[in-house]
Structure 1
Amino acid sequence: MNSSIRLHLFALAVGVLATLAGGTKALAQSVGAPAALDRPALLSPKAAGRAMLTLARAGTRLVAAGERGIVLYSDDGGAQWKQVATPTSVTLVALRFADDKHGWAIGHMGVILHTEDGGQTWVKQLDGLHAAALVAEAARRSGDERAIARAERLLADGADKPFFDLHVENATTAIVVGAFNLAFRTGDGGTTWLPWQEHLENPKALHLHAIRKVGKALLIVGEQGLMLRSLDGGEHFQALPSPYVGSWFGLLETRGEQLIAYGLRGNAYVSADAGSHWEKLQTGTVASISAATQLGDGRVVLASQAGELLVAAQPDRAGAIPTFTPMAGKAGLPLTDVVQDAHGGLALASLRGVLTTPVAAAPQP
């Protein structure tokens, strides 16, 4: 990996956002779309050691994705990984599955990939130029001069805006969010994607970093403490007061219908009422928190940019403030995602591939 890519991926791990130019074959001549967008990812025996930015479970299978469009899967808890072909070489930053077969991967240049076989094959459903064209078409139909002006700027930029996260409701319905308030929704498995940013109360067009469902509510968090909530299935998102003015990097919904928001400088908060009220968590770190997951026994694990894994009992009521305890050992490099595999261990996405560690290494709080 050359130094410029290493620096870019490190910046992404700590939440500093990068934008890359993008396009589709249909519009390539008019804006000069980069070749990486439509160039298949290079199949390499070294792929498992590349920078991985996201992990997901597809049934018992682990799927990982990261730099240069690389997607891997493992059916043995991360002991062995197999790279699969993907139709793009741009960086992929988030994965979500509706079930053991249907899922999406998203990333830079407005790319959305889809799988129907548990991550073994992928097709591209959307990219930056197509996304910009859809936004412009919707703006012109609305007649809203401000929306038209924003859409024209998006087209002029070359549609270089990345997606950062997605909520998958089921095999047909999903919402994708990204930089500068970029948002799209599908209700037909991704055959069509509808521009959705006009459904969000985000007048400053702040970056949207994460979206999750808790109970019947959908929440979005982003930069500068941005918090948005929908109580009508994603039709309308209203702004919420935020307990923290710094950037949020992610959300974790727990099985007890509580929500944990986490971000810069070790900040994490828990809500028991879908974001109306928040209580600060004692994480024990000043490093930015990059990922979180809930274990099968209910404990919550946070992963940090400093390579730390922090574990605590699940908050069981509003006002409860559990103390996070470091797990044994330290990765020594930024962690970008964490999930528990079907065998009970932890899989960790990092800038050197996917690492694994037994949960037994975590002390009981």
Structure 2
Amino acid sequence: MNRISQAGALFLALCLPFAASECLAGTTAVGAPLSTPAMAVPAAQKSVLIDLARAGTRLVAVGERGLVLLSDDNGQSWRQASVPVSVSLTAVQFVDAQKGWAVGHAGVVLATRDGGEHWTVQLDGLRAAQLELAAATVDQANAVYPDEALARVQNAERLVADGADKPFLALEFIDAQRGLIVGAYGLALWTADGGATWQSLMGHIANPNGMHLYAISHQGTRWFLAGEQGYLARSDDDAASFKQLESPYEGSFFTLQSRADGALLVGGLRGNAFVSNDGGESFQRLPVPMPISFNDATRLAGGQVLLVNQGGGLFLNGEQAGTALLPLGKPLGKPVSSVIEAADGSLIVAGFTGLQRLAQPSTAASE
């Protein structure tokens, strides 16, 4: 199993603010955060928050040490939810107003059935590693390429030996039953029953170097993955298998998002962003005036894609814009990890300085 030699800036950014026991391979102190509920934090909305989601009209933010915050007034006020772990959470998604999932460090997967008020643990990193080892062992028996099959088994054995120390970094559920989670070292698991059981997809994804996977997007039965060192992959069989795509860039990609017209946008290090109108067969560069890494993207109610970078710069791209990224106000001047549109049309951003509501996106930078 490879070790991080050119770890993406986002992976490092997620790790640096947190305790080393959550980030470094080979540590043995991960078990305590997995069994310790998140502590109540005064002014939690000013803590490190990493990702945002909508649960109906409710807003949900997740972040360091198991923080989950809820807002029922479009981001004007927030309250902390009950969470059974204190590992940092990196991504969250809801399929309706009640059902949602969050993933994070130590390979944790959390689920909620009450709009984020309470969460239960569905999976941890050790169990995820054991699932990959079991799958690799079964596949080895019928392998066409024995050397590759053996290498996969050995890699899975090292994952198990390392314990619960690998983070999940992205998730994509298409309904209350079916979802994909991905993370460091190519971790990838699929559920078809809402997370009651999981199966490893690592043997079905063309990722021979075990690149970290940072983002997922889907369009019907077609799925896309993006990761470090320009890694891009596509599934044409509803996530059953993925083939690697030719990448337009060698730097890491951190976000994927589809426009209403089906165009796929991908963004990553140093302000590099691209759009594809043919399902990832080719990409056109989206010029941007500042070489600052893109962290996240969201599709707005009008069908446009809004990208945000680490400097708080917001950029719009829609069908009419073609290959242009249109700045939305002035940069916020602070690190931003995620952005989402609230039910009232305001924008909510999350980052290392907490949460901020931009009530009028057209003049967002002035707030």
Fold in common (TM above 0.5): yes
Q: Number of matched residues?
A: 342
Aligned ranges 1:294-333 → 2 under 5 Å? 294-312=299-317, 314-316=318-320, 320-325=322-327, 327-333=328-334
Residues 321 and 203 (structure 1 numbering): CA distance in 2 closer, same or farther, change over 3 Å? same
2:129 is equivalent to residue 132 of structure 1:
yes
The alpha carbon displacement at 1:11 in A equals 5.8
66, 71, 85: which one pairs with 1:69? Answer: 66
- The equivalent of 2:5 in structure 1 is none
Task: After superposition, give the CA deviation of every residue in 1:301-339 in whole Å (9 maximum; x if it has no partner).
Answer: 221111212234x0359xx312422x3343221100001
Q: Distance in 1 between matches of 2:70 and 2:11?
A: 22
Q: Calculate the aligned-residue CA RMSD, in Å.
A: 2.1
The letter of the residue matching 2:355 is V
2:79 is equivalent to residue 82 of structure 1:
yes
11, 36, 41: which one pairs with 2:33? Answer: 36
- The equivalent of 1:117 in structure 2 is 114
Structure 1 length-normalised TM = 0.88
Q: Distance in 1 between matches of 2:315 and 2:212?
A: 27
- The equivalent of 2:214 in structure 1 is 209
Does the 8 Å contact 2:30/2:165 carry over to 1? no
The letter of the residue matching 1:227 is L
| SS of match in other structure, 2:185 | helix
- The equivalent of 1:193 in structure 2 is 198
Task: After superposition, give the CA deviation of every residue in 1:109-161 in whole Å (9 maximum; x if it has no partner).
Answer: 10100011111111010011111122222223333422221111111222311
Gaps of 5+ in 1: 1-9, 23-30
Does the 8 Å contact 2:30/2:164 carry over to 1? no
2:255 is equivalent to residue 250 of structure 1:
yes
Residues 277 and 122 (structure 1 numbering): CA distance in 2 closer, same or farther, change over 3 Å? same
Does the 8 Å contact 1:184/1:197 carry over to 2? yes
Task: After superposition, give the CA deviation of every residue in 1:249-287 in whole Å (9 maximum; x if it has no partner).
Answer: 110111111110000111111111211111111222210
Aligned ranges 1:101-116 → 2 under 5 Å? 101-116=98-113
- The equivalent of 2:337 in structure 1 is 336
| SS of match in other structure, 2:312 | coil
Bigger drift between 133-142 and 285-294 goes to: 133-142
Bigger drift between 218-227 and 151-160 goes to: 151-160
Q: Distance in 2 between matches of 1:67 and 1:109?
A: 13
Task: After superposition, give the CA deviation of every residue in 1:63-88 in whole Å (9 maximum; x if it has no partner).
Answer: 00000000011010100101001011
2:224 is equivalent to residue 219 of structure 1:
yes
Q: Distance in 2 between matches of 1:33 and 1:62?
A: 29
- The equivalent of 1:4 in structure 2 is none
Q: Distance in 2 between matches of 1:12 and 1:285?
A: 21
Gaps of 5+ in 2: 1-8, 23-27, 141-148
Task: After superposition, give the CA deviation of every residue in 1:177-208 in whole Å (9 maximum; x if it has no partner).
Answer: 00111010000010011111111001111111
The alpha carbon displacement at 1:20 in A equals 6.2
The alpha carbon displacement at 1:44 in A equals 2.2
Q: Distance in 2 between matches of 1:268 and 1:151?
A: 33
Q: Distance in 2 between matches of 1:228 and 1:323?
A: 24
| SS of match in other structure, 1:242 | coil
| SS of match in other structure, 1:330 | coil
- The equivalent of 2:291 in structure 1 is 286
Q: Distance in 1 between matches of 2:197 and 2:67?
A: 25
| SS of match in other structure, 1:335 | coil
The letter of the residue matching 2:362 is A
252, 268, 277: which one pairs with 1:272? Answer: 277
Does the 8 Å contact 1:13/1:335 carry over to 2? no
| SS of match in other structure, 2:307 | strand
What percentage of aligned pairs have identical amino acids?
A: 41
Q: Distance in 2 between matches of 1:12 and 1:146?
A: 25
The letter of the residue matching 1:218 is W
Q: Distance in 2 between matches of 1:14 and 1:264?
A: 12
Q: Distance in 2 between matches of 1:246 and 1:16?
A: 19
| SS of match in other structure, 2:229 | helix
Does the 8 Å contact 2:90/2:169 carry over to 1? yes
- The equivalent of 1:151 in structure 2 is 156
Task: After superposition, give the CA deviation of every residue in 1:38-64 in whole Å (9 maximum; x if it has no partner).
Answer: 100001232121110000011111000
Q: Distance in 2 between matches of 1:102 and 1:254?
A: 24
348, 359, 362: which one pairs with 2:361? Answer: 359
2:48 is equivalent to residue 47 of structure 1:
no
Bigger drift between 61-70 and 126-135 goes to: 126-135
